[in-house]
Structure 1
């Protein structure tokens, strides 16, 4: 049975930081990967970035953020496949390339750059971030880190510790409406339809993988 803890985001971070520092020390110079999984709109990206900042405040340069979103398929490819209305679903990512990238990072003896994703252009950007050679903690964040389907099944074995982030479904719906609206790329009607057709089913799918985590944080948040 996985430990399930109801915590505020600051409390979750306060719990994670000392545990990860202990793990890093016990690894004796080998890289470790901390997975931050959860559905869209759960706040995992923000939490992961804050975790990296806190780790680096204790040990400068020791941690690096590795986002999964940069492994979206290129938008042109998704359109050519005729699956633009399902963009963001597991099959619209380069899952095998993501697994290969993580494997490379775990064993790299040089700086490695990776792709990112921009919501402003709804597409990926090459060389959006760089993991320095001295970074010994990889904070990997993404929706599908704990799935067992297809290439995603290869992610879990590369993670030394996996955290699942949960917030209620209705809160996720509200957050996603705000997120899509802020970019101003589409109408409110389109955004609402996309969330109901795509984002929330993805959330439901990811929730089914929560028991594969080492710990589940049910975040105590109001909005």
Structure 2
């Protein structure tokens, strides 16, 4: 397992940025995929977005964000399965479709649209982003990029470099309470129960996959 590196989020990005640029320069024009993995509430979406912005500031149009969350099953499908209480767990995603999408993106020469996820409606949104032909760096972020169970086992092979982000469990719990409450869709009691029943077990599962990363960052963060 890689030795964890303890940094602030800003320090992490400053360390990661030149490494990604070097990888891109050595890829002979081929697309590379940088995976940003970590449990729910670890801030990986924000960090991945910032990394894309930094890469595009150096080389405009060279990088695109590819979020795993767009491959949630449609909420209606999860309801039909009787799994709404476990929404966000690995089996409530279209894992095989995500692997196929990543493989397609790595080799696509035309513009490709991808799905996103909206917390405002708690459902997926088609054509939420576009990866243009000139993009050379795909920044892929999601919980389950390094799992070995089921279709998720195919994700790692699509990644040229895998980053794992660790944030303490108690910090994650607090962040998730705030996140779930922001849209006002559910009661605090429901949110607290969902976090304990579903989100934190998912966090623990993701933590068990960290040894598959190329680098592990333990982030020094505020609550």
TM range (shorter): over 0.9
Does residue 83 (structure 1) correspond to residue 95 (structure 2)? The answer is no
**Cα RMSD between the aligned structures?**
0.5
Does residue 43 (structure 1) correspond to residue 49 (structure 2)? The answer is no
Q: Distance in 1 between matches of 2:212 and 2:102?
A: 18
Q: Deviations over 1:163-209 (max 9, x none)?
A: 00000000000000000111100000000000000000000000000
Q: Distance in 2 between matches of 1:70 and 1:52?
A: 18
State whether residues 68 and 140 of structure 1, in contact with CA within 8 Å, keep that contact through their aligned partners in structure 2: yes
- Correspondences of 1:180-219 after superposition (within 5 Å): 180-219=180-219
Q: Deviations over 1:88-144 (max 9, x none)?
A: 000000000000000000000001000000000000000000001100000000000
1:3 deviates by 3.0
State whether residues 3 and 214 of structure 1, in contact with CA within 8 Å, keep that contact through their aligned partners in structure 2: no
What residue is the counterpart of 1:145 in the other structure? Answer: 145
State whether residues 61 and 135 of structure 1, in contact with CA within 8 Å, keep that contact through their aligned partners in structure 2: yes
What residue is the counterpart of 2:117 in the other structure? Answer: 117
Moved >6 Å (runs of 4+): none
Q: Distance in 1 between matches of 2:13 and 2:79?
A: 39
- Correspondences of 1:10-21 after superposition (within 5 Å): 10-21=10-21
State whether residues 163 and 213 of structure 1, in contact with CA within 8 Å, keep that contact through their aligned partners in structure 2: yes
Does residue 127 (structure 1) correspond to residue 127 (structure 2)? The answer is yes
Q: Distance in 1 between matches of 2:2 and 2:65?
A: 25
TM-score where L is the length of structure 2: 0.99
What residue is the counterpart of 1:174 in the other structure? Answer: 174
Q: Distance in 1 between matches of 2:138 and 2:54?
A: 13
Q: Distance in 1 between matches of 2:38 and 2:28?
A: 29
1:3 aligns to what SS in structure 2?
coil
Q: Distance in 1 between matches of 2:10 and 2:63?
A: 18
Task: Tell me the number of residue pairs that the alignment of Structure 1 and Structure 2 aligns.
Answer: 223
Stretch deviating more after TM superposition (1-10 or 107-116)? 1-10
TM-score where L is the length of structure 1: 0.99
Q: Deviations over 1:57-113 (max 9, x none)?
A: 011100000000000000000000011100000000000000000000000000100
What residue is the counterpart of 1:22 in the other structure? Answer: 22
Residue ranges of structure 2 left out of the alignment (5+ in a row): none
